C-alpha cells in the first residue's frame, strides 16, 4: 500500500489490519467498548471488550496457579518457550511490524526494528537460562559452606506504553519466563491489537513445546484495569513503562503492599557537542535521535547543548537535514517521520512551542502541522528551537519532536546544564577529545542511566541494561544482570561438619 496522506481511506487500513491479524492467527475480537484506532488517519480499526474486574482477578489467579508449577521447571527447559516464540516472531516479523505501524504510527523500518528487538531479547533470554548464577563465599565457621541462590519471584505484572507496544513487553516477558515467573500483561489501550497478536504468539509457542500457556495472561482496558493489577498482592513485581506521573501513582501503591516495582518513566535526554566533534557524524546522530518516531521515544533527543564555537554550523546542518525529512504515511516507502499518536500529543507540542516562544525561544525550523487525511490525524514537521536559557518548558518532557538548542562555553557548564533536569534516562557527547569523553562518563559527569559517546541518545542494544535515574524511575530491563529484578535471592548456609559452631565465635553452652 502506497498512498499520499490525502488519499488514505480508513476502510483500506481496517482491511489491512484484519488481514494481518489473520496471518498472525488471531481471531477477530468480540466487539466492545475499547477502540483500536490508527494514528495514520485517526480512524477506528475495530473495537474489542475491555477486561472486567472479575476477568482481571481470574487472570491473576491463573498466573498465580501456573507459577507454582512453572517455577519447578528447569530454566533451560523454560527457555524452550522463548526459543519457539523467537522462531514465530522471525516468521511473522513483517506482519507484526505492519501491525505496529498501523497502531503506533511508526514507519516501516522502525516498526520492523522493534520486532527485531523482540527476537534479540529472546536470544539473550535463551542464553541467560543457563547463566542464572549464584555465588559461594568463604564461611567463617569450619565445615560450613556459605552461598547465595536465586529463585523465581512470582507473578510479574507488565504495564507497557503505546510507543513501544511490543518490544518492552518482550524485554520483560522473555526474561521473566526463563527466570521462572509468570506474566500478566496490561498493554496501552492505544495498542490493543498488537497485544492480542503477541499474546496469541506466545501461547502458541507454549503449546508447541508442551508448556502451560497459562504462564501468560493478557488483560485489556483503561487505567482501572492497570490499577487492579498494581494493587493485587499476588503480583510480586510490577514493571511499568510510562510517564513520570504514572510512576508517581504506581510506586506508592505497590510499596504499600510491600511489592516490587521496576519503573521506566520519563526522559529529557541531551547531547553535548564539543568544539572537537565531527559535525557530520553528530548531525546524523542528532537528527535520528530527535526526529525518529516523531519524537515519541523515551530516549528521544530533546536538548542539544552545543559549544558556542560550533553552534551555528551545526544548526545549519541540522536545519538542512530537517527540511529534507519526509513526513507522511508511515506505510509508504521513503517516509521518515510518521504521525503523532493523537490530538493530546499535538496539543502538548503546540503548548510547549508557545511557552518556548514566550520564554524568548526562536523556532529555527519546523513545528507546523501538515494536512492529513482527516482532522483526527496529526502530522507535524519536527521542530528545532533555539533557547536563551534552560527554562521550565525545556526541563519538562514533551512527547513530541521538539529539539531545544542551548549553547555553552565550558564543558563543566555543559555538564551542569545537562544534569539540571529531573529526568535521567539517556545522554550523549559528541567529541574527538578523549579527556572530554572520559569526563562525561565519570561519576560526576552524566547522571543518566545511559551515557554514550559519538552516538545519539536512542537505539540502545539488548546486551546492556536499559533504564535511568531520578524521575526515570531507576529500573533496569533487558540485558546485563537486569534478570535479578525478576528473581528473589536466598542466602544459604550448609553445615557439613559434626560440630555446631556459632557465628562470631559465640559460645552458648
pLDDT digit string, tens, across residues 469-509: 999 999 999 999 999 999 999 999 999 999 998 877 778 77
Grid coordinates representing 172 are 520483560
Active site residue 264: yes
Beta strands in 245-382 (DSSP E): 260-264, 269-273, 301-307, 362-365, 369-370, 379-380
Residue 44 lies in a domain: no
Helix or strand run (H / E) with residue 85:
helix 75-91
Task: Tell me what pLDDT residue 7 has.
Answer: 66
Report CA-CA distances (Å) from 234 to 53, 216, 295.
15, 15, 36
In this structure, the answer to whether residues 242 and 376 fall within a common structural domain is no
Task: Tell me what pLDDT residue 3 has.
Answer: 56
In this structure, the answer to whether residues 260 and 296 fall within a common structural domain is no
Per-residue pLDDT tens digits of the chain, which is 509 residues long: 445 666 678 999 999 999 999 999 998 899 999 999 999 999 999 999 999 999 999 999 999 999 999 999 999 999 999 999 999 999 999 999 999 999 999 999 999 999 999 999 999 999 999 999 999 999 999 999 999 999 999 999 999 999 999 999 999 999 999 999 999 999 999 999 999 999 999 999 999 999 999 999 999 999 999 999 999 999 999 999 999 999 999 999 999 999 999 999 999 999 999 999 999 999 999 999 999 999 999 999 999 999 999 999 999 999 999 999 999 999 999 999 999 999 999 999 999 999 999 999 999 999 999 999 999 999 999 999 999 999 999 999 999 999 999 999 999 999 999 999 999 999 999 999 999 999 999 999 999 999 999 999 998 899 999 999 999 999 999 999 999 999 999 999 999 999 998 877 778 77
- In sequence order, what are the residues at sequence separation of 6 or more whose Cβ sits closer than 8 angstroms to the Cβ of residue 19? none
Query: Which residues form the domain of 232?
Result: 52-265+473-489
In this structure, the answer to whether residues 384 and 483 fall within a common structural domain is no
Rg value, the chain, Cα = 24
The number of distinct structural domains making up the chain is: 2
In this structure, the answer to whether residues 219 and 354 fall within a common structural domain is no
- Beta carbons of 57 and 44 less than 8 angstroms apart: no
Distance (Å, whole) CA 97 – CA 92: 8
Residue 221 falls in which region: left (phi positive, over 0), alpha (psi -120 to 50) or beta:
left
- Beta carbons of 171 and 42 less than 8 angstroms apart: no
Measure CA 247 to chain center: 14
Residue 23 lies in a domain: no
User: The CATH number of the domain where 254 resides is what?
Assistant: 3.40.605.10
In this structure, the answer to whether residues 253 and 287 fall within a common structural domain is no
Residue 263 three-state SS = strand
Residue 200 lies in a domain: yes
Task: Tell me what pLDDT residue 449 has.
Answer: 98
In this structure, the answer to whether residues 438 and 363 fall within a common structural domain is yes
DSSP state of 256: H
Grid coordinates representing 195 are 497485544
Task: Tell me what pLDDT residue 5 has.
Answer: 66
Task: Tell me what pLDDT residue 73 has.
Answer: 98
Sign of the alpha-carbon dihedral angle for 451, 454, 456, 462: negative
In this structure, the answer to whether residues 294 and 250 fall within a common structural domain is no
In this structure, the answer to whether residues 280 and 160 fall within a common structural domain is no
User: The CATH number of the domain where 294 resides is what?
Assistant: 3.40.309.10
* pTM (2 d.p.): 0.96
In this structure, the answer to whether residues 171 and 249 fall within a common structural domain is yes
Residue 10 lies in a domain: no
Task: Tell me what pLDDT residue 1 has.
Answer: 45
Alpha helices in 361-499 (DSSP H): 392-395, 411-419, 434-441
Residue 425 lies in a domain: yes
Residue 115 lies in a domain: yes
In this structure, the answer to whether residues 323 and 381 fall within a common structural domain is yes
Residue 56 lies in a domain: yes
Task: Tell me what pLDDT residue 507 has.
Answer: 81
Candidates 98, 264, 397, 477; catalytic one: 264
Grid coordinates representing 425 are 534516562
In this structure, the answer to whether residues 82 and 171 fall within a common structural domain is yes
In this structure, the answer to whether residues 309 and 239 fall within a common structural domain is no
Amino acid at each position: 500500500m502506497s498512498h499520499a496522506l490525502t488519499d488514505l481511506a480508513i476502510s483500506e487500513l481496517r482491511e489491512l489490519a484484519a488481514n494481518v491479524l489473520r496471518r498472525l492467527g488471531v481471531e477477530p475480537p468480540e466487539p466492545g467498548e475499547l477502540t483500536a484506532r490508527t494514528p495514520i488517519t485517526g480512524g477506528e480499526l475495530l473495537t474489542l471488550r475491555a477486561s472486567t474486574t472479575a476477568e482481571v482477578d481470574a487472570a491473576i489467579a491463573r498466573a498465580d496457579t501456573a507459577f507454582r508449577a512453572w517455577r519447578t521447571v528447569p530454566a533451560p527447559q523454560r527457555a524452550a518457550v522463548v526459543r519457539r516464540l523467537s522462531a514465530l516472531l522471525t516468521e511473522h516479523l513483517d506482519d507484526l511490524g505492519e501491525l505496529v505501524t498501523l497502531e503506533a504510527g511508526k514507519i516501516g523500518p522502525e516498526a520492523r526494528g522493534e520486532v527485531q528487538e523482540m527476537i534479540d531479547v529472546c536470544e539473550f533470554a535463551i542464553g541467560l537460562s543457563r547463566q542464572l548464577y549464584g555465588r559461594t563465599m568463604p564461611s567463617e565457621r569450619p565445615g560450613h559452606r556459605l552461598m547465595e541462590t536465586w529463585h523465581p519471584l512470582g507473578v510479574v505484572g507488565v504495564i507497557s506504553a503505546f510507543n513501544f507496544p511490543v518490544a518492552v513487553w518482550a524485554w520483560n516477558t522473555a526474561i521473566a519466563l526463563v527466570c521462572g515467573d509468570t506474566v500478566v500483561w496490561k498493554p496501552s489501550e492505544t495498542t490493543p491489537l498488537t497485544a492480542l497478536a503477541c499474546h496469541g504468539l506466545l501461547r502458541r509457542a507454549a503449546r508447541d513445546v508442551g508448556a502451560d500457556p497459562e504462564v501468560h495472561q493478557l488483560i485489556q482496558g483503561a487505567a482501572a484495569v492497570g490499577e487492579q493489577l498494581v494493587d493485587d498482592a499476588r503480583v510480586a513485581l510490577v514493571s511499568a513503562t510510562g510517564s513520570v506521573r504514572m510512576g508517581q501513582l504506581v510506586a506508592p501503591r505497590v510499596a504499600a503492599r510491600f511489592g516490587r516495582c521496576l519503573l521506566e518513566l520519563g526522559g529529557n535526554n541531551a547531547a553535548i557537542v564539543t568544539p572537537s566533534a565531527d559535525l557530520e557524524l553528530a548531525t546524523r546522530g542528532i537528527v535520528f535521535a530527535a526526529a525518529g518516531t516523531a519524537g515519541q521515544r523515551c530516549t528521544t533527543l530533546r536538548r542539544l547543548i552545543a559549544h558556542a564555537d560550533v553552534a551555528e554550523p551545526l544548526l545549519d546542518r541540522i536545519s538542512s537535514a530537517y527540511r529534507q525529512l519526509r513526513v507522511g504515511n508511515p506505510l509508504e516507502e521513503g517516509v521518515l517521520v510518521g504521525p503523532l499518536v493523537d490530538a493530546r500529543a499535538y496539543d502538548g507540542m503546540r503548548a510547549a512551542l508557545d511557552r518556548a516562544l514566550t520564554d524568548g525561544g526562536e523556532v529555527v525550523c519546523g513545528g507546523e502541522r501538515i494536512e492529513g487525511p482527516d482532522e483526527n490525524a496529526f502530522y507535524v514537521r519536527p521542530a528545532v528551537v533555539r533557547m536563551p536559557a534552560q527554562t521550565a518548558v525545556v526541563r519538562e518532557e514533551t512527547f513530541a519532536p521538539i529539539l531545544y538548542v542551548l549553547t555553552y562555553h565550558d564543558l563543566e557548564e555543559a555538564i551542569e546544564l545537562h544534569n539540571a533536569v529531573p529526568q535521567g534516562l539517556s545522554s550523549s557527547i559528541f567529541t574527538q577529545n578523549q579527556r572530554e569523553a572520559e569526563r562525561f562518563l565519570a561519576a560526576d559527569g552524566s547522571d543518566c542511566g545511559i551515557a554514550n559517546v559519538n552516538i545519539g541518545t536512542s537505539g540502545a542494544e539488548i546486551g546492556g541494561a536499559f533504564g535511568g535515574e531520578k524521575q526515570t524511575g531507576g529500573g533496569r530491563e533487558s540485558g546485563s544482570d537486569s534478570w535479578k529484578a525478576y528473581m528473589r535471592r536466598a542466602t544459604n548456609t550448609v553445615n557439613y561438619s559434626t560440630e555446631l559452631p556459632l557465628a562470631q565465635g559465640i559460645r552458648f553452652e
